């Protein structure tokens, strides 16, 4: 049986200046049955600051790049500030996981997303582009309030929309976590209307006596700035004086920034009683790091690069086969194209290993500055503690100045030779024809020269020993260059 109250948090804009936060749909059907004695003890401990700090592992899932890592860091910093009063510290258990998915999620879609991606014993938070309520309205997110003494853990997740107003001050995440830790809205009415005089505060509204009776601050014109201005009255005729700073209210996200002591005591109580298996550290995840001591200076296009990379498995010990891609780019802000693919095998208890990669540069790389990037786990197959140390970029220069303007080498050759032409005045399609000394055509191929330098490699290993004439004819310029090469056996 699903013992959850679903709480849907709406976000909508009013004009383009201000925004309101609101939560809708199902409310709790009954008063949560908690251990009041323990609640009072925790409340006292929190106010005396005599309670230890516990860590709680979050798994962050980012769907379709809905948010960047800086946003995630800001969100975590914000919630740790709000929840510090409950002596709870949230941390990301492993690096955020980037997932391809839909752009818009209804609660039904969200359940499926969670079933497919959840990491057990952590609180799973999904950042998506937009969330809808299933009936066409945009939401900031939603979470489920656990029924108390809950057996199952499957629905402990929150989904957050990346729509602008939802991420202000991390309050949507804080609000949804509040629900996951048993907090109701400050204006909740399902368990009874809380009176302004506080006479029924522990059995109605949000059941807390240090959150004033709240008529619902998510309605147009009720809050100006961060002040309640509506002068509405409760059933006994007393004017409401709600708190527009409480995170569990519907006040605008720019206003909300605090939980009350009783709310924090509830969070701590639920943490201790309902989340006994939540991970307090996640150092069992591997962390692949890549480094190099090799420094590259100037090389020619025809030279082979030999780079020593140090691959480190900083996490727990297990066998891993991890793909490694090497990219070449002439633009420091782009990774470029893949010039080599390989796999690194880590055996159990093997921390660090050095691998030498011999890399053939594409011959069409002309004199310029280049960036060689090695990336381990390029497709994020592994859940790691940290992803930012998975790549290393080396800058180097290709400089072909040492080569003559026209060159074939090696000469003599037993197999391949390289043809190099540097001439800014000729370009476009050309034909390479190779003749023997009797004038018979032995090989013909076409090339295209679109930059100052042209470099290619030609295989004549099947030729008999002897002298051959290489004729390079630029069709558009009606210009030819002729070389002789000696083929050995």
Residues in the chain: 489
Using CA atoms, how far apart are residues 236 and 465, in angstroms rounded to an integer? 110
289 to each of 92, 134, 281, 352, how far by Cα in Å? 18, 43, 20, 9
Nearer to Zn ion, 253 or 378 (CB): 253
Stretch in the footprint of Zn ion (CB under 5 A) among 6-14, 34-42, 119-127, 440-448: 6-14
Nearer to Zn ion, 7 or 217 (CB): 7
Nearer to Zn ion, 184 or 372 (CB): 184
Query: At its nearest, how many Å lie between Zn ion and the CB of residue 364?
Result: 58
Question: Among residues 161, 185, 142, 9, which one has the least CA distance to residue 75?
Answer: 161
Nearer to Zn ion, 9 or 217 (CB): 9
Query: At its nearest, how many Å lie between Zn ion and the CB of residue 10?
Result: 9
Stretch in the footprint of Zn ion (CB under 5 A) among 5-13, 147-155, 340-348, 388-396: 5-13
CB nearest Zn ion: which residue?
23
Query: At its nearest, how many Å lie between Zn ion and the CB of residue 173?
Result: 12
Stretch in the footprint of Zn ion (CB under 5 A) among 3-11, 60-68, 279-287, 434-442: 3-11
Stretch in the footprint of Zn ion (CB under 5 A) among 7-15, 62-70, 151-159, 378-386: 7-15
Nearer to Zn ion, 21 or 417 (CB): 21
Stretch in the footprint of Zn ion (CB under 5 A) among 16-24, 112-120, 165-173, 230-238: 16-24
Whose tokens are 């499957």? That residue is: 154
Query: At its nearest, how many Å lie between Zn ion and the CB of residue 260?
Result: 16
Using CA atoms, how far apart are residues 403 and 296, in angstroms rounded to an integer? 19
Nearer to Zn ion, 9 or 485 (CB): 9
| Contact call for residue 23 and Zn ion (CB under 5 A) | yes
Query: At its nearest, how many Å lie between Zn ion and the CB of residue 50?
Result: 31
Stretch in the footprint of Zn ion (CB under 5 A) among 17-25, 82-90, 102-110, 320-328: 17-25
Nearer to Zn ion, 38 or 189 (CB): 189
Question: Among residues 43, 428, 41, which one has the least CA distance to residue 264?
Answer: 43
Stretch in the footprint of Zn ion (CB under 5 A) among 20-28, 82-90, 302-310, 326-334: 20-28
Please tell me the count of residues contacting Zn ion according to CB under 5 A. Answer: 3
Query: At its nearest, how many Å lie between Zn ion and the CB of residue 96?
Result: 23
Nearer to Zn ion, 246 or 400 (CB): 246
SS3 for the chain is: CCCEEEEEEEEEEECCCEEEEEEECCCCCCCCCCCHHHHHHHHHHHHCCCCCCEEEEEEEEEECCCCCHHHHHHHHHHHHHHHHHHCEEEEECCCCEEECCCCEECHHHHHHHHHHHCCCCCEEEEEECEEECCCCCEEEEEEEEECCCCCCCCCCEEEEECCHHHHHHHHHHHHHHHHHCCCCCCCCCCCCCCCCCCCCCCCCCCCCCCCCCCCCCCCCCCEECCEECCCCECCCCCECCCCCCECCCCCCCCCCCECCHHHHHHHHHHHHHHCCCCCCCCCCCCCEEEEECCCCCEECCCCEEEEEEEEEECCCCCCEEEEEEEEEECCCCCCCEEEEEEEEEECCCCCEEEEEEEEECCCCCCCEEEEEEEEECCCCCCCCCCCCCCEEEEEEEECCCCCCCEEEECCCECCEEEEEEECCCCCEEEEEEEEECCCCEEEEEEEEECCCEEEEEEECCCCCCEEEEEEEEECCCCEEEEEEEEECC
Contacts with Zn ion, 401-440, as mask; x by CB under 5 A: ----------------------------------------
Whether the upstream peptide bond of residue 410 has omega within 30° of 0, thus cis, is yes
Contacts with Zn ion, 105-144, as mask; x by CB under 5 A: ----------------------------------------
Query: At its nearest, how many Å lie between Zn ion and the CB of residue 156?
Result: 15
| Contact call for residue 7 and Zn ion (CB under 5 A) | yes
Nearer to Zn ion, 9 or 201 (CB): 9
Query: At its nearest, how many Å lie between Zn ion and the CB of residue 256?
Result: 11
Using CA atoms, how far apart are residues 391 and 326, in angstroms rounded to an integer? 9
Query: At its nearest, how many Å lie between Zn ion and the CB of residue 221?
Result: 21
Nearer to Zn ion, 114 or 185 (CB): 185
Query: At its nearest, how many Å lie between Zn ion and the CB of residue 142?
Result: 7
Nearer to Zn ion, 180 or 470 (CB): 180
Query: At its nearest, how many Å lie between Zn ion and the CB of residue 126?
Result: 16
Nearer to Zn ion, 7 or 460 (CB): 7
Interactions with Zn ion, residue window 335-394 (CB under 5 A): none
Where do contacts with Zn ion occur on this chain (CB under 5 A)?
Answer: 7, 9, 23
């Amino acid at each position: 049986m699903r013992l959850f109250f679903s709480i849907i948090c709406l976000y909508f804009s009013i004009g383009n200046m201000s925004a309101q936060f609101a939560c809708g749909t199902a409310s709790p059907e009954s008063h949560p049955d908690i251990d009041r004695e323990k609640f009072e003890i925790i409340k006292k401990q929190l106010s005396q600051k005599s309670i230890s700090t516990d860590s709680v592992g979050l798994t962050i899932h980012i769907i379709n790049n809905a948010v960047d890592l800086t946003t995630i860091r800001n969100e975590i910093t914000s919630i740790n500030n709000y929840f510090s009063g409950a002596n709870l510290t949230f941390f990301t258990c492993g690096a955020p996981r980037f997932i391809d998915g839909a752009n818009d999620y209804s609660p039904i879609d969200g359940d499926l997303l969670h079933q497919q991606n959840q990491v057990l014993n952590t609180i799973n938070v999904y950042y998506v582009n937009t969330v809808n309520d299933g009936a066409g309205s945009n939401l900031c997110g939603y979470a489920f309030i656990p029924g108390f003494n809950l057996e199952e853990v499957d629905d402990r997740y929150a989904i957050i929309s990346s729509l602008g107003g939802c991420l202000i001050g991390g309050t949507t995440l804080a609000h949804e976590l509040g629900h996951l830790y048993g907090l109701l809205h400050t204006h909740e009415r399902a368990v009874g209307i809380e009176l302004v005089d506080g006479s029924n505060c522990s059995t109605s509204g949000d059941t807390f006596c240090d959150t004033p009776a709240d008529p619902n601050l998510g309605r147009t014109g009720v809050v100006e700035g961060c002040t309640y201005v509506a002068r509405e009255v409760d059933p006994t005729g007393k004017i409401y004086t709600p708190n527009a700073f409480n995170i569990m209210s519907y006040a605008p996200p720019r206003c909300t920034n605090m939980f009350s002591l009783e709310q924090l005591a509830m969070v701590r109580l639920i943490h201790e009683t309902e989340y006994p298996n939540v991970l307090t550290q996640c150092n069992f995840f591997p962390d692949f790091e890549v480094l190099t001591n090799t420094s590259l200076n100037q090389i020619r296009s025809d030279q082979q690069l030999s780079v020593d990379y140090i691959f480190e498995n900083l996490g727990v010990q297990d066998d891993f086969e991890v793909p490694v891609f090497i990219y070449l780019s002439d633009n420091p802000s782009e990774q470029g194209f893949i010039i080599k693919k390989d796999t690194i095998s880590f055996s159990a208890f093997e921390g660090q290993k050095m691998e030498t990669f011999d890399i053939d540069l594409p011959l069409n790389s002309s004199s310029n500055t280049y960036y060689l990037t090695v990336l381990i786990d390029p497709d994020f197959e592994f859940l790691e503690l940290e992803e930012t140390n998975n790549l290393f970029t080396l800058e180097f220069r290709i400089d072909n100045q040492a080569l003559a303007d026209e060159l074939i080498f090696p000469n003599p050759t037993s197999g391949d030779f390289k043809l190099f032409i540097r001439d800014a005045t000729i370009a476009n399609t050309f034909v390479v024809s190779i003749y023997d000394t009797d004038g018979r055509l032995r090989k013909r191929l076409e090339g295209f020269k679109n930059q100052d330098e042209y470099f290619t490699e030609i295989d004549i290993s099947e030729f008999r020993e002897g002298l051959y004439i290489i004729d390079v004819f630029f069709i558009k310029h009606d210009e030819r260059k002729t070389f002789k090469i000696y083929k050995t056996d």
